């Protein structure tokens, strides 16, 4: 009996779909699968390597001898090598030893479809099945309503390797996160958690953005079934899970996808389209059908097998533009003579259509930093089809404004008001992400001017402004309690800071903001519609005050917001009252429990004196560097 038996999980229909780039469940076919053939248990292997002269499975079970277990190439020109190896199963480590058509080139590669990988720096794949009995039926049943674009969406962005560490500075496990992290996110009131990439990656300083194991949760924190349990626990606690997903590039590591079978299989063969000079990484060939099927299958894999609720797609701008980070002469225009990557655009549209047509209640979110139009518009309407897009311009302008000394802010109020000229051109998510607290940018609180009191008052005002600006929001871990040092992926957040009142005050304020957001339809029902926002006054530059209204479907849920961007309290400040009835203060960032000075509005009198185009007005105190929210 041969060491490798002829066996296949592919039908002719599968092959036709694969060749056409339309097979979106390749993870059921390619890779390693524990099966039984003629009463014998073993593992079926299948790998795409069309330029290979020979492909072997090597591992401890055959002393890494490429002669022992040679796979059979299919007869249908699909480029797939496959076969059944009896009597090996879960837990065996393996790689593919590939001889290219040029006999001088041998590559030893990890399985692109491996479900589990060795702990880095080891690089082999592991035969695995991740059995888990899901207990999130309730969440999956109402997720469509919970995860909609007219629902609260407050995201806590987490790097698992540095959120918190054990006493001996080791990683926590998926099991430990299922207790500590879930409890924390729930207590803080965030609706969703977003994990920076958890797919297997070899190099810690890449933060996970240079992937080698697209179908494997990193073994740094435990097994795939333990990662499923973590997601399940979030769902049982009414919290959605978003994964960072990286279809834009991949590293050149010897065991990875690059030059996989001795040819440019996954990467574009033209270095002008296939290599990132910034990141020293390779770019997928979006025009190749089988590569498109690989990537779309990968996106659907996490939504299907791990019940994930959304994908935040990294570095979309780098995919859309042929001249992204390239000098003149380093890129070639498309057939229309411009700089758009038509193949990447087509892939993105196909990806989003596949995601939304296959799963209810999920979202795709684009990290896209340019003015490219229609990113979050449906494909049927000429858009790229994402559910949301990061509002990078708002983030940049807002932080630029806040770092200015208050005395100069009156000259730059347009930095804040400008966002409303384009706020509804996309479904925007407002991000204060990990990228804003690294590489010398400083932590958010230390980007604020003034003494300690002013820095923390500014930070509370910043977060209050974010939560009341149209759109959803995202906050990177540590920001919610005023982490003072830049993020360091090698160590835990500075949780000890919570012993100090100013840090605990920020944390309590963010917690209350989250609960206010979730319980205030005026902040989310029309968060992507111009009908959900109305200026009261954006022109009081001299006092650096902004006043505006947020609206839901029912007028009773309208909120009036007043922001004071100077350390001078604005007492007896009159603003137009856009509707009948009395107003009461429901949140004030200057409350003493947040570390503020206690400039509150206990009673708010309504006057028949007109102001700001309204027949009636109110007079309030807007605290120094504070935000007041009225209902």
pLDDT tens string 28-81: 999 999 999 999 999 999 999 999 999 999 999 999 999 999 999 999 999 999
Confidence of residue 102 (pLDDT cuts 50, 70, 90): confident
- Give bridge partners of residue 464 from the DSSP assignment: none
3-state helix/strand/coil string of 490-532: CCCCCHHHHHCHHHHHHHHHHHHHHHHHHCCHHHHCCCCCHHH
CB 448 within 8 A of CB 482: no
Using a pLDDT cut of 70, give the percent of the chain over it.
100
**Per-residue model confidence (pLDDT) at position 142:** 95
Cα–Cα nearest to 241, from 199, 296, 197, 191? 191
Please write the tens of the pLDDT for every residue from 286-304.
Answer: 999 999 999 999 999 999 9
pLDDT at 129 over 90: yes
Please write the tens of the pLDDT for every residue from 392-419.
Answer: 999 999 999 999 999 999 999 999 999 9
Distance CA 598, CA 592 (A): 5
Q: What is the mean pLDDT of residues 582-603?
A: 95
Question: Which residue numbers are catalytic?
Answer: 314, 367
- SS3 category, 539: strand
Q: Which domains does the chain have, with CATH numbers?
A: 12-127 (2.60.40.10), 153-523 (3.20.20.80), 530-630 (2.60.40.1180)
3-state helix, strand, coil in the chain (%, to 5): 30, 25, 45
DSSP 22-65: ----GGGTSEEEEEEETTEEEEEEEEE-TTEEEEEEEEGGGTT-
**Per-residue model confidence (pLDDT) at position 84:** 98
Burial 186-202 (b: 16+ CB within 10 A, else e): eebbbbbbbbbbbbbbb
pLDDT at 527 over 70: yes
pLDDT at 605 over 90: no
Q: Please give the structure tokens belonging to residue 540.
A: 């009081």
Q: Count the residues in the chain.
A: 631
Helix axes 342-358, 289-305, angle to 10 degrees: 30
Q: In sequence order, which residues have a C-beta less than 8 Å from that of residue 538 and are 6 or more positions away?
A: 413, 417, 420, 546, 547, 548
pLDDT at 361 over 80: yes
Q: What is the mean pLDDT of residues 145-158?
A: 96
pLDDT at 104 over 80: no
Distance CA 561, CA 505 (A): 21
pLDDT at 103 over 90: no
Q: Please give the structure tokens belonging to residue 132.
A: 């888990």
Q: What is the pTM of this model?
A: 0.97
Distance CA 105, CA 164 (A): 44
For all residues of the chain together, what is the average pLDDT? 96
pLDDT at 1 over 60: no
């Amino acid at each position: 009996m041969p060491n490798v038996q002829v066996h296949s999980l592919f039908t002719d229909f599968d092959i036709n779909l694969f060749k056409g780039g339309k097979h979106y469940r390749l993870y059921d076919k390619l890779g390693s699968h524990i099966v039984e053939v003629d009463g014998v248990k073993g593992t079926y292997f299948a790998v795409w390597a069309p330029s290979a002269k020979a492909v072997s499975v090597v591992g401890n079970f055959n002393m890494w001898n490429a002669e022992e277990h040679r796979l059979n190439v299919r007869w249908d020109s699909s480029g797939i090598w496959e076969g059944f190896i009896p009597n090996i199963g879960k837990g065996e480590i393996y790689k593919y030893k590939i001889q290219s058509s040029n006999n001088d080139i041998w590559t030893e590669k990890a399985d692109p479809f491996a479900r589990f990988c060795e702990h880095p720096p080891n690089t082999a794949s592991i035969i695995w099945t991740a059995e888990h009995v899901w207990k999130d039926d309730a969440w999956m049943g109402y997720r469509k309503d919970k995860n909609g674009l007219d629902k609260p969406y407050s995201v806590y962005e987490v790097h698992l390797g540095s959120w918190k560490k054990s006493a001996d500075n080791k990683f926590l496990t998926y099991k430990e996160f299922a207790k500590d992290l879930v409890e924390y996110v729930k207590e803080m009131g965030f609706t969703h958690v977003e994990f920076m990439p958890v797919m297997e990656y070899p190099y810690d300083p890449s933060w996970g953005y240079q992937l080698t194991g697209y179908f494997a949760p990193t073994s740094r924190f435990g097994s795939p079934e333990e990662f499923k349990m973590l997601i399940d626990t979030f769902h049982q606690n009414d919290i959605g899970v978003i994964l960072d997903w990286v279809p834009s590039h991949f590293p050149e590591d010897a065991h990875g996808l690059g030059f996989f079978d001795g040819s440019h299989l996954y990467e574009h063969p033209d270095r002008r389209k296939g290599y990132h000079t910034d990141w020293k990484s390779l770019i997928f060939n979006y025009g190749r059908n089988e590569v498109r099927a690989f990537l779309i299958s990968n996106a659907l894999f996490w939504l299907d097998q791990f019940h994930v609720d959304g994908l935040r797609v990294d570095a979309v701008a780098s995919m859309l533009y042929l001249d992204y980070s390239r000098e003149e002469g380093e890129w070639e225009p498309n057939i229309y003579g411009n700089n758009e990557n038509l193949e990447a655009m087509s892939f993105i549209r196909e990806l989003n259509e596949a995601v939304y047509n296959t799963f209810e209640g999920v979202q795709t979110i684009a990290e896209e930093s340019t003015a490219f139009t229609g990113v979050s518009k449906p494909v049927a309407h000429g858009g790229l089809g994402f559910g949301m897009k990061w509002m990078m311009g708002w983030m940049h302008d807002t932080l630029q404004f806040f770092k200015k000394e208050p005395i100069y802010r009156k000259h730059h109020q347009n930095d804040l008001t400008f966002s409303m000229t384009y706020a509804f051109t996309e479904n925007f998510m407002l991000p204060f992400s990990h990228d804003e607290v690294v590489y010398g940018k400083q932590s958010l609180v230390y980007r604020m001017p003034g003494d300690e009191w002013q820095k923390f008052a500014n930070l509370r005002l910043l977060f209050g402004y974010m939560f009341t600006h149209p759109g959803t929001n995202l906050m990177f871990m540590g920001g919610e309690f005023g982490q003072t040092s830049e993020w360091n992926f090698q160590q835990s957040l500075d949780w000890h800071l919570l012993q100090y009142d100013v840090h605990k005050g920020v944390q309590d304020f963010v917690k209350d903001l989250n609960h206010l957001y979730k319980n205030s339809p005026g902040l989310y029902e029309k968060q992507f519609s111009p009908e959900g926002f109305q200026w009261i006054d954006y022109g009081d530059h001299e006092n650096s005050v902004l006043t505006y209204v947020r609206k839901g479907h029912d007028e009773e849920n309208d909120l009036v917001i007043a922001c004071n961007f100077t350390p001078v309290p604005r007492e007896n400040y009159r603003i137009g009252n856009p509707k009948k009835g009395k107003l009461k203060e429901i949140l004030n960032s200057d409350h003493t429990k947040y570390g503020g000075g206690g400039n509150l509005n206990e009673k708010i009198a309504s006057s028949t004196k007109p102001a700001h185009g309204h027949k009636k007005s109110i007079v309030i105190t807007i605290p120094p560097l504070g935000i007041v929210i009225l209902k």
